[in-house]
Structure 1
Amino acid sequence: MTMYKNQITCLLGHNGAGKTTLISMLTGMIPASSGDATVNGLSLNGDLNEIRRSLGMCPQHDVLYTELTVQEHLMFYGKIKGYTGKALELEVEQKIVEVGLTEKRHVYSNELSGGMKRKLSLAIALLGDSKIVFLDEPTSGMDPYSRRSSWEIIMNNRYNRIVVLTTHFMDEADILGDRIAIMAEGELRCCGSSLFLKNRYGAGYNFSLVKTDHCNTPALIDFVQTHIGDDVKVLSNVGTEISFQLPLDCSHLFGKMFAELDLQLDMLGVLSYETDPTTDKKKLAGGGAYKLTDHAPSSPLTMFLIHFVALFKKRFRSAKRDKRVVIFGTVLPIVFLVLGIALLKGSSLNRNDPVIQLSSDKFPLKSDTPLPVLCQSDWLCDSVNQIATAKAQTFTGIESPVYPSSTPSVFGVQYANISGTDANGFCLRAGEEIFKRGYGKVDAPVQGQYGGYVLMGDSKTRSFGYNLAVNTSALHASIVYKAMMDEALYRTITSNSNVKLTCSDAPLPLTDATKIMFTTIVSFTTSVFVVLAFAYFTASVVPYLVNEKPPSHNSKHQQLVSGVSLPAFWVSNFAWDLLLYSVPCVFGLLAIYLFDITPFTGRECTSCTATPFAALIVVFVLFGFAIIGFCYVLSYLFVDSASSQTYIIMINVLFGTILMTTSVILDIMDSTKDINATLKFIWRLSPLFCVGNGLNSISLITIKIALGLLKKDTSAFSTSVCGWEIAYLAMEAVLFPLIAIGIDYALSFPKIKAKITKDPQVEDGPYEVDEDVQKEQDRVASGAADKDAVVMKNLRKVYKGGKVGVVNLSLALPKGECF
């Protein structure tokens, strides 16, 4: 097909006919599988960039920047199209005035109504000297007045341009299109002017009349047939409207019929009438009156179950598309539960340290560790030769005096008062020799040595002493090398080379106070990980509910007005969230049982009348019911689903981890124990505090019984353990869901909602009231319309900014009327 300059070509077709796909190919948004198109002689396949220099487009869905105002949008696109300075300002001002957005020029795009956004998109498309303009359903979402003003804008801007417009409204195509191309199933079915298509495919005229309550329908039908002929067909006669199909060739008879009809409106019972050409499409669509089939009303239980199943499936499909639900609802809680359980399982803080046998075998080279032995004389080395290992090296030759001066310089350090015969001088000289001779430098560096000996003695009295040099990086080196020397001396004295001395490190057992402290630390840390796990779970509950009720679409309201009951809505959501919670809950309980986390399984608590594991199961189960209801209540605080995910985690971490930490600190100090006991009754209103404090108490029951801090027959369900937490969770499991549903019920009553969100008082200015409007207001005010199906009396809405949306509307709609 060919599209011409100075003309508007309308692509007409139903949804899915291929209109948007065609425009997307012509603008280069998607590539064509085959074929080509030319724009002013330029090929779409080869000259797309050149074509785009003179192209304007209004897409089907608005592509606007939320951070830019109306004027900033036009300035931005004006600069892209090459406008600068005064020319840009004039072009932007002209388009703002032209599309009627003068009062909204400084308003951000996300604050505009749907119709205003379409106007802005239209202005962007027409901005500048675009030679070809594509408008994809430019008037969708506009009110009738805005549609007609947009039609005028489009028609006024067609000159010197090729305008291609898509629509599925026949009246819009009829008014705007110089040529109309009808598409169906991706194919072009016909193309031509409106008159050409009507003459070729038209089925006549559609003549519709609105009847009064006392309308004489047979007389009205006879009236039309008398003036037009027997070819008149009654298309529909439903409620207060009757429609006729009139032949295409009888338009010359309309004038006389309309003149007489105007004179007999009251007698025939007609309020108004209209006529318009119809096409084959309308002929096929209008087949006559529809008959409503009566169905037996379903029972409340049946309807509840139908709604429940449908809403539950909706949650399931939504979760499949949004992977964050799975991550926050199951994966992250399981990760934190694993960390907490691993910490409790692997911790050895509250266990006595084992006895450690000390020997040189603990060093990297074991018994081959280099061991320098420096002797003042040979007989000293012979005395202790039993100590020498395979790698040990000894030397002699340190004669007395060791230094010729009492102020020797060793490695650049000047020493004073060093005697040539005392131990200090000899030890200093021995250290110097170790480094100079590089003991162990072949097999192991000097720093690989962990101990050494410097022996001094008197050969006459056969007495000697020694200094032990120790590498302090080895924790037990001093003990090991002292034992080795003692063993060598004992072997020498007894002449028994089989003598073996051993030494060990046996730490003192933990005191009861230390055990309590260490167990408390580990149990508390584990409880923190559990609280964090379930805090992340809440991030899968709240965002979905918040996303159901944003002002932009409010799908929850749509479901409720479509017949869904509040119990069905909340119970289906509760069932899904409970199912999601059961995954980390069951995983955590199974992990604790299978890995035998004894503080929770209670297998070491042989005297407990109720096992800690049974209490743990009850806490976990009740917590699921309580935390879901708690999240439902908190969901009313948010309007943005993205931010709610972050804030709900922060809130629950605050109510769980921080409160629990504060409680533990207060419980440690004797001066604040009583205050903490009182505060717990308030803090237990948080389900996360209950589960954290409950787990902490359960994990300590075994050791407290063993140390006599609790009686041996103490039950895990007693108030001294986690009885209060279980009681609170049971109460919250019922209370919080009821509060959430109660708030929803309260907000469903307009009077209550109006008091919560009170609108400002605004005085109305003087305005003229149409005669028919006044009659309708008087009819409603007098009570004559009380039996009508819908009655509106002085309906009014004032927004927070003071803008009056609805001004004292009084209107009544009788049953059977399509308003």
Structure 2
Amino acid sequence: MREQRGMELPEKDTKGKDRRDTLEHPTVKDFLNRQLSEDGISVEAVQNFLYKGPRENQADDLTDFDWRDVFNITDRSLRLADRYLECLVLDKFESCDDEIQLTQRALSVLEDNRFWAGVVFPDMYPWTSSLPPHVKYKIQMDIDVVEKTNKIKDRYWDSGPRADPVEDLQYIWGGFAYLQNMVEQGITRSQVQMAAPIGVYLQQMPYPCFVDDSFMIILNRCFPIFMVLAWTYSVSMTVKGIGIVLEKELRLKETLKNQGVSNAIIWCTWFLDSFSIMSVSIFLLTVFIMSLLSPVAFGFGTEYLVRFEEQGLGLQWSNIGNSPMEGDEFSFLLAMHMMLLDAGLYGLLAWYLDQVFPAVDCLNITFYENQITACLGHNGAGKTTTLSILTGLLPPTSGTVLIGGKDIETSLDAIRQSLGMCPQHNILFHQEQPQTTAGFQVPLMLPALAFLFLISAPVTWVRFVPLGGMQRKLSVTIAFVGDAKVVVLDEPTSGVDPYSRRAIWDLLLKYRAGRTIIMSTHHMDEADLLGDRIAILSQGRLYCSGTPLFLKNCFGTGFYLTLVRKMKTIQSRGGRCEGTCSCAPKGFSVRCPAGVDEITPEQDLDGDVNELTDVVSHHVPEAKLVECIGQEFIFLLPNKNFKQRAYASLFRELEETLVDLGLSSFGISDTPLEEDAPPEGQAPHEPEEPSIALNTGVRLDLQHGQALLVKRFHHTVRSRKDFLAQIAFPATFVLVALTLSVIVPPFGEFPALTLHPWIYGQQYSFFSMDEPGSERLAVLADVLLNKPGFGNRCLKEQRLLYGGISTGGKLLVLPITGKALVGFLSDLGQIMNVSGVWFNNKGWHALVSFLNVAHNAILWASLPQDRDLEEHGITVISQPLNLTKEQLSEITVLTTSVDAVVAICVIFAMSFIPASFVLYFIQERVTKAKHLQFISGVSPTTYWLTNFFWDIVLVLGSTGNRKKFEFQSLY
């Protein structure tokens, strides 16, 4: 239809027909072709565009786009634009009967993001025809675009202005200030019946220079917890370990009070003790800061070196004493000085410690040929240091060592020709056979040594490296080769088995002749058996030295008298039942008629204990019975105040009355340092046959499992930790999760806030007027400084705050030229007076509060003189809409947060149960109970299966009522 209408239009257009006829004229066509040839347009193309006939009659070499296509495209575009323009609402204002209706309408429009603001006049009604003198109005906007009214400023002050255009100036970019300005200007024009004489502009107050330290902002949130954690352990250990808690537990505080110590003295001593401990930390921190530690000084110096390199200067002699940072007094040169000072301090400290804590102090001892001297002492007594000095491994700080009349400091090479040693660690060539190692050190091995250590015992070699015991024996062998006259052995029997230990003992005793053997040991029995002389060292000093007999006489307790009682046979008569009757009914004592009398021999110990004790005490009153095991009685006979006749008479009486006393033998022995090892080749003790039948196989495993279940039951019942971990804590966390799952987070409601300056308390404001001679501005200044004053409250003593007012026109500074002066004078009549509001945005609502102050001042300055200024005013209230999209999203976030907390509570609840199971096995491992059960016969399979069964039973019991407490999934 459109195309047909387009075809009819040119027929009615006679001018169009004339144009087409003109283009058909040859002269016109030729002229136009020449004129349009530069633009690439021909007359044929124009005729084709204006063609009105059927499209099939158009020329094929020309485009088929003509005026009809343009008409159709234009028609479709206009219709499409008309359809879209129907969606535009040109009427931006809607009136509502009351505030409730406005709120409902605003919320519905807000869902489509088509709501800007709502203005409510609470003191005006639909039938009101004029404005009241004091106009109150309320602006309702989305909470996303205005400041929240539940706060008026930041809780904590921070450096820097609130100048972010999105986060801090919401009254500007949200449009609240513009709407307030329009409404209050309209109120002013309505009240004074004239256009607003003075305009208003806003300006944020300038802010001084500040440091934007984002690190401190981050540290502000975590620094308190770091400080608390840093001092928690120190304070808790001070309270517990110093004595406040410990002394109360041990009743020491009450004991001190009973002895007359006052409570004040006790607390003072606790304080001094705690302060002394804390002062150590303070001293170390001070030392660290002063660079008295060489790594600290070196680190600081390296840092300054790198900083100079970063600046492209490098460390030079010209700047070695300067700092790359402005205002810093530390330098690389000072770091070098501190390192030199540290070196001196360390040297002084090393010298002092070497003098105060020597390893060997004033040691004077003589070792004899053909003797073994055993050195005894605790760890750190100085044994190894002494032997190292004897062999030349360590030089003595003072004194000397003479070996065979030769000084070890001057003739060490000659001494080493006849010196052999075996240190604590094995010195071997591990890639060689033991025969090769010994052969490398001496061409000719002693036959006895080779037979004893290399041939007598079978040895298993792994990569040509002997086992630990064989390595030790080989090291001892090497110490004797080469016809060594002085042999130094440092703990030669450490790490060897008893058989090899006995072999080393025999070696030392066999090759003692012609040699001076010096050995160190920790075993008292070894020193007693091998040592011809024993030297005891303590803290680097020689405590005592002498033969074993001499030491026993000096420090021994006496002799052991061992009495062995003999066994005697006793004939006992008893009955043996051969019948099938019950021989011993419960509650009766009868003789079984089927019983047969028989005589059974029994063994019993002969001799009376009291009689034996009296005999020994009669001769030696100081004797003590120290042990009574089986047939043996052991008495301790002291060696102090030794009475030879008393001992002789005791032994004589024991020999004469041996049988009468019921003894089989007796003996006397010296008190050994330790009991000797059992002799070799002793037959192992045959175990006795059990008197009851033993379970084996599956029955034994079941018995073990039953015992383990009983043990777990008693442990669970008696352990409070298991009760808390398996029942109390999971139930508590599940209860918290269920409670949180039904809690509905409260909706955030923001109250209505009247915007006036005095909501910030008493602060200071300023006032300035740029045109003192202006009559209108003088009136404005008068109403601000006098009555009614700032805002709409008439309080003479009220000092306003968080803003200021600047009145007067802005004077332009122009170059004094004729043209500029004429233009300025011509535009001067169009310049209006402007009132500027300077606001400090630290107060969230200072901007709109002082904007209201400015409009009130303009209103009062513009009112006629017959009006009462104290009755007129403008009050603005900000009340954000509740239940907005932002609040709904916050509720969603809160709900999600609650779900996350519920999930965490459930995870914690379920984690306590397996943790309690693991804790039991950890306790079993720590207390060695698990190891004890394994060596007692419990198989690992039975142990783990039984405990797994018990844990599964507990888990099933705790999850048996899951349907009762079932709630919806958290995700």
Q: Same fold (TM over 0.5)?
A: no
Q: What is the TM-score of this pair, normalised by structure 1?
A: 0.32
Q: Which has the higher helix share?
A: 1
**Which has the larger Rg?**
2
**Higher RCO, Cα 8 Å, sep 6+:** 2
